[in-house]
Structure 1
Amino acid sequence: MAIYKLQGDRISELSPTSFANERILEARDLQKFIINSINAIETDLFVLSSEFGDWEDSRRKIDILCIDKNANIVVVELKRTEDGGHMELQSIRYASMVANMTFEKAVKAHQRYLTKVGIAERNAEEDILEYLGWDENNEDDFGNDVRIILVSADFSIEITNSVLWLIERGIDIKCIRIKPQKDGETLYFDIQQIIPLPETADYQVKLREKAIEQRQARRESQRDYSKFDLTFNGVKHSNLNKRETMILTMKMCVKNGISPTELMEFTGKSRWLWVNKVCQSSAEFETEYRATNQRKYDPSRWFNDDSELLVHNEKTYVFSNQHGKGTGKLVNDIFAKYPELNATAEKNEG
């Protein structure tokens, strides 16, 4: 649809143009424009990276990688052509490649992006947590779905048919048309969501919600309920769930002189909170933390019973109780780094 301007007592159409005529390239120009104005494509997106390709075939790169407020991964694919090429096929491939992205990998990707754009001094993890409104990393709630946004000057009938078919099957994908138009030397972009049509949004949301419920049911059936046997200096602790495994490991590490600061290299800083005093109880820790820190504190998300407080070098630490499928690997990596613990972790197959 053309854009018109008012001139006297009539309206006149702006001059159509193209990205090619304006010498606007995808990677050099259009990508930069969209990143700097991401809300023009969709409100409340957070740009993680551009030209993202954290896999073996480095020739394949996601134009713009984002997350949304629900911690979903969002793949944004750009084309400046009038038909969109084969962008829907590319985007599906990319979506599958990032479907298992963890919070930790997202932080690393964003930190590399910040370095690339010249603001490496920013803390990627803190920026992501602030955007999501989280107090800490929560792997179980991160990246549970992947959404796709296609942005092009226009779309062929093959693409629109493919996208409609994918939407019917619960894939969250949309087409955004961005057409350049001119008024003298001034360039305008006519940006419109054409699929799904805004007036069908409620229906499409219901379809997606049904698909999400089905995926969550499948995910629940595949949830990891592994149990572990931990052995420290010949003393065996059997049939521990993931939470019990994690807190016992951290307690034994600190008891043997390994500082929480060192352990943060394995777990990430966001999985720890601390205060600069020795606390004797959970209530004392909570009072001190709330008085001295801006970050919100939800006691239910931390190992903070009196017996779980970790004291080292006149500081008191609490450790996150939110852990996903990587518990076994994390614990074994710690045991490998610190052989003085004389510890092993094995899955309990009973």
Structure 2
Amino acid sequence: MASERVYSIEEGTAVPLETVSLAEAGLRERQDLQEWVLARPEILGPDVMVIAFEFDHWQNSKGDRQRDRLDVLGLDADGRLVLAELKRDDAPDTVEMQAIKYAAMASRFTEADLVSYHSRFLSRRSGETVSEDEARTALLDHAGELDSEQLRQPRIVLVAGSFTSPTTASVVWLSEMGLDITLQRIQAYRIGDEGVIVTVSQLFPVPDVEEFTIAPQRAEAQQSKARRTRKRERSTVGRLLQSKLISDGTLLTLVPTTEVDAEARERVQEWITEDPRRGRATWVNGPKPLRWEYDDALYRPTTIAKQVLLYAADVERSVNGPQWWVTEEGASLTELGAAIGPGFDWDGLHTILASLPAGHWTTYGDLAKVIGTAAQPLGGHVMSCPECVNAFRVLDASGQTRPGFRWADPDELRTQRDVLEAERIQFINGHADPARRLPLNELREPLTAKTA
């Protein structure tokens, strides 16, 4: 990386200034560098607003507190999060990996999270209580309506006196893969006996050539993502067709995901509301498994999703079509295909169901734990499986009957609850008696006996 040259003009002569580290200049990371960024957030890029600093309110999937501390959390005018790591002098080799970890955790933030964090930040900085309503107004005035898809794609800024070659090589590669990451170099210069000046320079991407180098590479990354999406769709549909998990005629509803922004999703919903057939399809176990109710023709899931997006919102882009189509139980085709895995063996489920004793009940979740799958694909299989006897004894996690439950015998007119009550299972406020729920160890017994 080329170093900058800074001169003072003394009696008409350009005199080069002596470079010093921030430490040598008596400047500190938290008391000085961090305060500069808080006061001058343009150091992180144009139109950046600071939401919080020294942020450590992370939790893992179990709700346990994580002790990592992000230096600065910001928001740009486009509604994207900006995560900044500040290092007073030399950045360690792992600084980019640390920032990526923060970006992954921050990508789950919601508007409500940001409002809460910003309210605390403003209160802490001003010494007076700033309400969440005031914090929300400040955020929306800066970035407009916050879109969940935008928030899921944070921008990373690393600020340091210098970066190692491994770090710069990693950052270049990450940018080529589509990650928005910037290196800002901060350098102090001695001027006179007491004075110090500080410069901030964008080392990467180089501003003058970013449009011609990084932008095309990111575009290629998006094209590669589209190719992966098509491959993923083939895998999902293939698994579903092979497993026969979804029976012919099963109704599916189109629900746009956060792959597109809020405005596009709203337009899609409005377009479907005008003619509900546009958002409905039935499953057909064949190469083109969706019969679109709008024109009664057969398509692959992504084909319809892309057409709907184009017709409704004038947006032409690749999407993960199976993720857009959901069953009456709320499970997407992607979730069903991923959970069952290729060629899942349902024999264990059939054995357990055949052994369910009268006067007792179990849940989709408990059955899924015992046989090693997930509740949603198991529920879909039970709904369409002629071998799943005693399926009426399977309820949801709270002990309620399944809204979409159907008998294999079309002449059966009783409800699922009618039959269970006939077996002396009491329902209280719509929930089956928990004392009649089979424990997991008893569910496993038929499988143990079978292998004994």
Interval of TM-score (by shorter of Structure 1 and Structure 2): 0.5 to 0.7
Aligned counterpart, 1:208? 218
Q: What is the SS of the residue equivalent to 1:117? A: helix
Secondary structure of 2:208's aligned partner: helix
The answer on whether the counterparts of 2:115 and 2:135 sit within 8 Å (CA) in structure 1 is: yes
Secondary structure, aligned partner of 1:77: strand
Deviation at 1:48, TM superposition (A): 0.9
* Mean Cα deviation higher: 173-182 or 140-149: 140-149
Residues 175-227 of structure 1: CA deviation (Å, up to 9, x unaligned): 110001121222211211111112321121232344356668989999xxxxx
Q: Which residue of 2 aligns with 1:130?
A: 141
1:194 and 2:215 are equivalent in the alignment: no
Which of residues 15, 20, 43 is equivalent to 2:18?
15
**How much has 1:81 moved relative to structure 2?**
2.2
Instruction: Supply the AA of the counterpart residue of 1:86.
Output: T
For the 8 Å contact 1:79–1:85, the answer to whether it is kept is: no
Distance 1:205 1:242, change over 3 A: closer
CA distance in 1, matches of 2:196, 2:172: 31
**1:219-258 residue pairs with structure 2 within 5 A?**
none
SS of aligned partner of 2:197? strand
Q: Does 1:50 align with 2:60?
A: no
CA distance in 1 between counterparts of 2:116 and 2:13 reads 54
Match of 1:79 among 65, 81, 87: 87
CA contact (8 A) 2:82 2:155 kept: yes
Q: Which has the higher contact order (CA 8 A, sep 6+)?
A: 1
Q: Decide which moves more: 1-10 or 78-87.
A: 78-87
Q: Are 2:119 and 1:108 equivalent residues in the alignment?
A: no
CA distance in 1 between partners of 2:120 and 2:184 (Å): 28
1:1-350 residue pairs with structure 2 within 5 A?
1-56=4-59, 57-118=65-126, 119-121=128-130, 123-134=134-145, 138-184=146-192, 185-202=194-211, 203-212=213-222
Q: Which SS does the other structure have where 1:182 is aligned?
A: strand
Gap change, CA 1:196 and 1:14, over 3 Å in 2:
same
C-alpha distance in 2 between matches for 1:114 and 1:48: 8
SS at match of 1:71: coil
Aligned amino acid, residue 8 of structure 1: E
Long gaps (5+) in structure 2? 60-64, 234-251, 257-265, 271-329, 331-399, 407-452
CA gap 1:72/1:212 in 2 versus in 1, 3 angstroms: farther
Q: CA–CA distance in 1 between the matches of 2:405 and 2:35? A: 52
Q: What SS does the corresponding residue of 1:199 show, helix, strand or coil?
A: coil
Q: Quick check: which has more Rg, 1 or 2?
A: 2
Are residues 75 and 140 of structure 1, via their aligned partners in 2, closer, same or farther at CA, if it must alter by over 3 Å?
closer
Q: In 1, Cα distance between the equivalents of 2:179 and 2:106?
A: 15
SS of the aligned residue for 1:120 comes to coil
Relative to structure 1, the CA distance from residue 161 to residue 300 in structure 2 (aligned partners, 3 Å threshold; closer, same or farther) is closer
Q: 1:347–1:162: structure 2 CA closer, same or farther, 3 Å change rule?
A: farther
Rounded to whole Å, the distance in 2 between the matches of 1:187 and 1:63 is 24
For residue 210 of structure 2, give the secondary structure of its aligned residue in structure 1.
helix
Aligned residues: 241
8 A Cα contact 2:44 2:84, kept in partner? no
Bigger strand share: 1
SS of the equivalent of 1:177 reads strand
Say if 1:39 and 1:45, in contact at 8 Å, map to a contact too: yes
Distance in 1 between residues matched to 2:18 and 2:403, nearest whole Å: 68
Amino acid at match of 2:35: K
Deviation at 1:37, TM superposition (A): 0.6
Q: Is contact 1:147-1:173 (8 Å) kept?
A: yes
SS at match of 1:176: strand
Check the 8 A contact 2:185/2:203 in 1, yes or no: yes
Change (3 A) 1:125 1:212: farther
| CA drift at 1:106 | 1.1
- Distance in 1, Cα, partners of 2:84 & 2:6: 25
Cα RMSD (Å) of the superposition? 3.6
For the structure 1 residues 70 and 183, does the alpha-carbon distance in structure 2 shift closer, same or farther, using more than 3 Å as the test? same
CA offsets 1:279-322 (integer angstroms, 9 cap, x no match): xxxxxxxxxxxxxxxxxxxx98999xxxxxxxxxxxxxxxxxxx
Once the two structures are TM-superposed, the CA of residue 86 in structure 1 deviates from its matched residue by 2.4
Distance 1:50 1:189, change over 3 A: same
Q: Confirm or deny: 8 A CA contact 1:84 1:154 kept in the other structure.
A: no
The equivalent residue for 1:280 is: none
Tell whether the 8 Å contact from 1:51 to 1:62 is kept in structure 2 after alignment: yes
The code of the aligned residue for 1:178 comes to I
Residue type at the aligned position of 2:86: L
Work out the CA distance in 2 between the residues paired with 1:51 and 1:214: 36
Percent identity (aligned): 26
What amino acid does structure 2 have at the position aligned with 1:186?
A: G
